[in-house]
């Protein structure tokens, strides 16, 4: 049981050191992620408006081609008016003329609306562009700072992670799962010693009988207040030797 507890506590020591390296990065990782999200959000808005603008321009071109075709037909229909031989032909031609003129007017109005919309989209893109450029610059600065910190501690972090893998491989699966569950719930600190009759994790007093049981190193005990695993100073000293 001593070896079992010592190995588990050794894992906590290594995780503490890794947590310290993580703390050196401060909120930089969160800031980088947040800036990336903001850049993507604004860029998506720019891309959406740019797509709408291009689609509008393509439709305007199609409309202009249709207007040109209708004008040619309109000219032809009007010329044929002078060649009609009866009212039926005249009515058919005037119907075609009215339809062509109506379609030309509708398409020209559509193009005018799309042109106004295109200009509006262009202005909106112009408003977004400086914002995304500013965020890109800020993101670049934060990424450079984060990479610098990571680089400075890279060798130490690699060594610690390698050592952690070796220690974790010796920990029982059941113990490891309990350890990780407590670690996640209590901000990284899953195993603590008793200091001045109190749990060094939550600082609540540990009952005398429980203190005696912890010192005997016969099984795993947890703090009745916070749920952290309690170990004796003998275990903590033994764990240091494993490192």
Digit-coded pLDDT (tens) for 191-234: 999 999 999 999 999 999 999 999 999 999 999 999 999 999 99
For residues 119-141, average pLDDT:
93
Burial class (CB within 10 angstroms; exposed 0-12, middle 13-18, buried 19+) of 169:
exposed
Mean pLDDT along residues 168-173: 93
What pLDDT score was predicted for residue 54?
A: 94
CB within 8 A of 157, min separation 6: which ones?
A: 18, 21, 150
pLDDT at 241: 84
Q: What is the mean pLDDT of residues 54-69?
A: 95
Which fold would CATH assign to domain 28-152? Helix Hairpins (1.10.287)
- Evaluate if residue 119 carries a pLDDT over 90: yes
183-187: average pLDDT: 92
- CB burial readout 215-231, b (16+ within 10 A) else e: eebeebbbbeebbbbbb
Summarize the confidence of residues 158-181 as an average pLDDT. 93
Q: How confident is the model at residue 84 (pLDDT cuts 50, 70, 90)?
A: confident
What is the average per-residue pLDDT within 166-193?
A: 93
Average pLDDT (167-184) is: 94
* Sole residue written with tokens 């005696």: 212
- How far is CA 196 from each of CA 37, 95, 190, 218, 238, rounded to the nearest angstrom? 48, 103, 19, 21, 20
> Percent of the chain at pLDDT above 70?
100
Closest CA to 74 of 105, 99, 92: 99
Confidence label for 153 from pLDDT (cuts 50, 70 and 90): confident
With bands split at pLDDT 50, 70 and 90, how would you rate the model's confidence at 238?
confident
Label the pairing between strands 229-231 and 198-199: unpaired
Q: Is the pLDDT of residue 66 over 90?
A: yes
Q: What's the rounded mean pLDDT across residues 76-80?
A: 92
pLDDT confidence tier of residue 149, bands split at 50, 70 and 90: confident
2-25+155-242 — its CATH code?
1.10.287.1490
The CATH 1.10.287.1490 domain(s) of the chain lie at 2-25+155-242
Mean pLDDT value across the chain: 92
User: Does 242 have pLDDT greater than 90?
Assistant: no
Q: What is the reported pTM?
A: 0.59
């Amino acid at each position: 049981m001593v070896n079992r507890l010592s190995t588990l506590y050794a894992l906590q020591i290594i995780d503490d050191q890794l947590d310290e390296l993580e703390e050196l990065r401060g909120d930089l990782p969160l800031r980088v992620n947040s800036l990336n999200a903001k850049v993507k959000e604004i860029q998506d808005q720019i891309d959406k408006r740019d797509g709408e603008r291009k689609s509008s321009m393509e439709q305007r071109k199609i409309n202009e081609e249709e207007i040109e075709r209708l004008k040619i037909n309109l000219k032809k229909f009007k010329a044929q008016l002078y060649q009609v031989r009866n009212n039926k032909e005249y009515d058919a031609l005037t119907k075609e003329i009215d339809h062509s003129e109506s379609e030309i007017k509708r398409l020209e109005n559509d193009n005018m609306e799309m042109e106004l919309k295109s200009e509006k989209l262009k202005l909106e893109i112009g408003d977004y562009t400086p914002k995304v450029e500013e965020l890109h610059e800020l993101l670049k600065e934060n990424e450079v700072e984060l990479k610098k910190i990571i680089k400075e501690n890279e060798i130490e972090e690699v060594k610690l992670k390698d050592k952690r893998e070796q220690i974790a491989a010796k920990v029982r699966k059941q113990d490891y799962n309990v350890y990780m569950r407590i670690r996640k719930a209590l901000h990284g600190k899953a195993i603590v010693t008793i200091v001045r009759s109190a749990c060094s994790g939550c600082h609540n007093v540990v009952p005398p009988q429980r203190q005696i049981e912890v010192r005997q190193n016969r099984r795993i005990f947890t703090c009745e207040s916070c749920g952290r695993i309690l170990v004796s100073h003998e275990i903590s000293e033994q764990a240091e030797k494993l490192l």
